[in-house]
Amino acid sequence: MVDVLMVLAEQIHLVDATDTAYKTFDTINLSGLCHESFVLGPAHTEKLDFAPITKRHAPPDQDLVRHHLSVYLAIFLSGCVGTVGSGPEAEGPPVPDAASLPAEDAGPTALPAADAAPLLVADDAAVLPVADDAAVLPDAAQPLAADAAQPPPDAGVAFADAGPVAPTCTGDLIGQLPKGPSQLTALCSRGYTDPISVAFCAATTPSITSVTDVLNTIGLGFGAPPYTRARGPSFVMSSQSTSISARKVSQINPRAIVFTMPLARGRMTGAPRPNPSFVAFSFTRGDQEIELMAKDPQVGIRFFLLKYAQACNGAPGGCNSGDLYTSAVESGFTGWSLYSDEDLKNTPHDCLQCHQPGGLGTPRIMRMQELQRPWHHWMYNDSIGVAPLRADFHAAHGTTEAYGGVPGAAIDQGDAPQLQGFVENNGFQNQPNEFMGLTIASEVMAGGSSATWQSMYQRAQGGQFIPVPYFDSIATDVTKVQPLINQYRAVATGMLPASQLGDMSDVFSVAAQRAMTHRPASGLSGRQILVQACQQCHNSRLDPTISRSGFDVERLDMMARSEKDEAIRRIHLPANDCNHMPPHRFRELDAAEIALVEAELRN
């Protein structure tokens, strides 16, 4: 097949016809790539500087050329600003009907061949290439360069090479809360009037045996095909996350977010158009839980967690990776419990540690740190690097497997501009420590690192904000991802027992884990580790009536000896104990880091 990226590279003279040398010019003019209904945004130049690339890499590698070219084009086309229209789509280009969508949007048969370089469409207007997964990396994660350089394993690698399954957490604090009907009775007695409470507290309790049942119950069911963006519900897949499921999210195990269709799509440029009522749903395989959110007239937004059980929970050894990371985790519920943010406030699942950043009594917010294009981690058409993200997902899951309740035929229709419109028009355009993707990508391409990202990371490291998204579109290690893809396909085709599926969350190098704050930064003192690893959940903004508030990292020098001793005990608990600190779902410390923390707490 024709490599369209390299053809375009030749046409704009980035490389010569033999692909053996970069041209010597410093800039190229790309203004003709904007669609005729678009104009260049005032903040963007028509000429893109390739001098830093040509000085660092000679002769050119095709993958590197493809990555540089596509990221530059994604950045450039972020400056293509749609002409203002009217109606629900005024903040972005119109959503086409199914007949007018390009092949990639049209349905489940659009997966490109593995050796092709698929085109992507920027809001169904200008055609541009997609980034490959060779990456230029910021200083904070330079060791990843070696990871990225390793070739993918052969398709026939031994299935056992994928590594052990992550420990199952026992002694979960949520497990100590009421369950099932008694918990639902307690929740419904509070008189909440948000749409999720109304749906679950109806005269007839809904029958919930699957993820799809949850979507249908809260009014986000997909119904029958065809699936188009104009029909709803709205949704998008994320390949990286800073949520409570952060360590499990990747392009082969994404986070599915389904939400009420917004009244305006894309960047809000005029008066907001809030939804009179809304609900949202989030699900990642690996946990038997579903996050829910609803507009509430009393507190603005109310958050929920639906925990469920399946037959595997009662089996010897509990649930294995095949139970938790395949479609099996999405159905066959044997029981469920619905908790509100009030129930969860003294557990590691506390919703408000992220969604009420100002603390008790302050406004609650929606979170979309990566709010604006060019998106790095939303699996949407003009996201940077979306082609390799989608290719890995489809290599594992094919094009017909449903994921997170989203039908397989619909998955590539996920729409990041709809989520942006949903967040902004409902009052949350100002995001704390917003991920400035355009600036970050531009800085990385120009000099190999991003001062903007580094500054964001340092603010999060200092306990001021929740973790920052990864600086590049690909956060995973190909030598870990490819064996898991092979295993998943083998399970799907019956060649491998599901019980032998490896840990689908074990896809990141240690350097990437540090960049995503799954592990603390290197070289920190014990006190600095406590700030980065613990202060997000243990700070002076907490409700003082909950026990968690006693371990206030911001007041470490005034902390009671008993609190410090309890913390020392808990950092030494086994990783599969839910009382282990920090919770494995958020952070992980190595032995040297634990020793530093213990020494600090013994002072």
At 423, is the pLDDT very low, low, confident or very high (cuts 50, 70, 90)?
very high
Residue 40 lies in a domain: no
Residue 369 lies in a domain: no
pLDDT at 39 over 50: no
Residue 441 lies in a domain: no
The residue behind tokens 């660092």 is 56
Instruction: Report CA-CA distances (Å) from 333 to 207, 286, 491.
Output: 10, 15, 21
Greatest CA span in the chain, whole angstroms? 73
Lowest mean pLDDT among 108-117, 252-261, 275-284: 108-117
Backbone CA torsion sign across 133, 134, 136, 138: positive
Residues 6+ apart with CB under 8 A from 202: none
Out of 355, 381, 410, pick the residue that ends a domain.
355
At 116, is the pLDDT very low, low, confident or very high (cuts 50, 70, 90)?
very low
Q: So what's the pLDDT on residue 360?
A: 87
> How far apart are the C-alpha atoms of 410 and 151, rounded to whole Å?
31
Residue 381 lies in a domain: no
Residue 533's nearest CA partner among 291, 348, 287, 360 is 348
Residue 402 lies in a domain: no
> How far apart are the C-alpha atoms of 587 and 461, rounded to whole Å?
13
pLDDT at 148 over 80: no
Mean pLDDT score, 133-152: 33
Helix 526-534 × helix 451-461 angle, to 10°: 90
pLDDT at 108 over 70: no
Residue 591 lies in a domain: yes
Check residue 403 and report its DSSP letter: B
Instruction: Report CA-CA distances (Å) from 349 to 241, 340, 341, 345, 352.
Output: 15, 11, 9, 7, 9
Q: So what's the pLDDT on residue 486?
A: 97
Out of 338, 355, 372, pick the residue that ends a domain.
355
Q: So what's the pLDDT on residue 169?
A: 56
Structure tokens at 261: 């269709």
Out of 355, 376, 395, pick the residue that ends a domain.
355
Check residue 22 and report its DSSP letter: B
Q: How many domains does the chain have?
A: 2
User: 558 lies in which domain range?
Assistant: 519-603
Residue 160 lies in a domain: no
Residue 349 lies in a domain: yes
